Amino acid sequence: MLSTRLRGNRLAISQACPRFESSATKRRRSYGQKVLLQVLKTKKQKTTLTSAGESPFPDFSHPTPAEAREVFDLLSKAHGAHDPVRKVPEMARSSEEIRSEAPNVIEALVSTILSQSTSGANSSRAKKSLDDTFGRNDFAAIESASYESLVDAIRSGGLANKKAKVIQGILRSIKARHGDYSLQHLAAVEEGKWLTNDEIMEELVSYDGVGPKTASCVLLFCLGRDSFAVDTHVFRLSQVLGWIPARADRILAQAHLDTRIPDELKYGLHILLIRHGRICKGCKKIGSGERCILKTYLKDGNKGSGRPCVHDVAIVKDRDSVLQSEKT
């Protein structure tokens, strides 16, 4: 139904240039927005759209695989290439060996929550303090601790009051649902136990405080799955590149980009867009005088030319300091 409402070249053009809309088109667009709000009214419905494997904007054809590759190559030259730190284990290996190597899924989920709206250094300090206070992965101790003591333990990560409430709520829900503090079934690769990305996403976002971006990060960084998480940097740069419609919010942008970006580029492009967003001064401030290689790429019409853009001097200069901050 949603895709039907959004179809039509005339509607797409009027949405791109709203001041030229006819009254009838405005009424259709208003109705289409109401349909969107109705579809996305609840968290479960919104996540269903996010993990459905179909774009909420089926008539929006960007990025193409070639465009995604060009931007990946461009950013790789400026910031260095990045391969996934962990890929999904092969089925042929023994289940005992795989289980011994699988990261703790709850730990990854908690770490991702701690990383929200703060720097890598601050979230790392909060995680270390959490481990020092309660013991690493002693989720029973964390869940049963007083709210105030958990807030104190993770205070260095910012938004401690909110994050403490979310973490304890998630742990209680996991224990109530599974009888134990474990989500390792999400990492299972044995035949008959393997879960799809959509199935994993569905369980993760069913816990209060876990949105599609957080769930996607667990899929990507903990479980070694191909998933494209959209944070503030990725969202902003996707807007600059024209990869998402103007009406897209971050959740809809993630649903769209996850279907458009080739699987083999999802990890590296996610990392590179975040790194570029942190470093590049030219794409942060209008009129700053700094140059942004992505804006140069768009301005020069380099798409498909195979001609690399000149590296932004500020990016190369600041790269080492950013790499160091990401390690801490």
Which residues are catalytically annotated?
Answer: 213
> Angle at Cα 122 formed by Cα 118 and Cα 126, nearest 5°?
110
**What CA–CA distance (Å, rounded) separates 119 from 116?**
8
DSSP string, 56-115: S-TT---S-HHHHHHHHHHHHHHH-----S--PPPTTS-HHHHHHHSPPHHHHHHHHHHT
Cis amide linkage into residue 103, ω under 30° from 0: no
Q: Are 99 and 184 in contact (CB under 8 A)?
A: yes
Distant-in-sequence, close-in-space partners of 36: CB < 8 Å, separation ≥ 6: 2, 56
Q: Are 166 and 113 in contact (CB under 8 A)?
A: yes
Distant-in-sequence, close-in-space partners of 59: CB < 8 Å, separation ≥ 6: 6, 7, 8, 9, 12
Q: How far is CA 5 from the centre of its chain?
A: 27
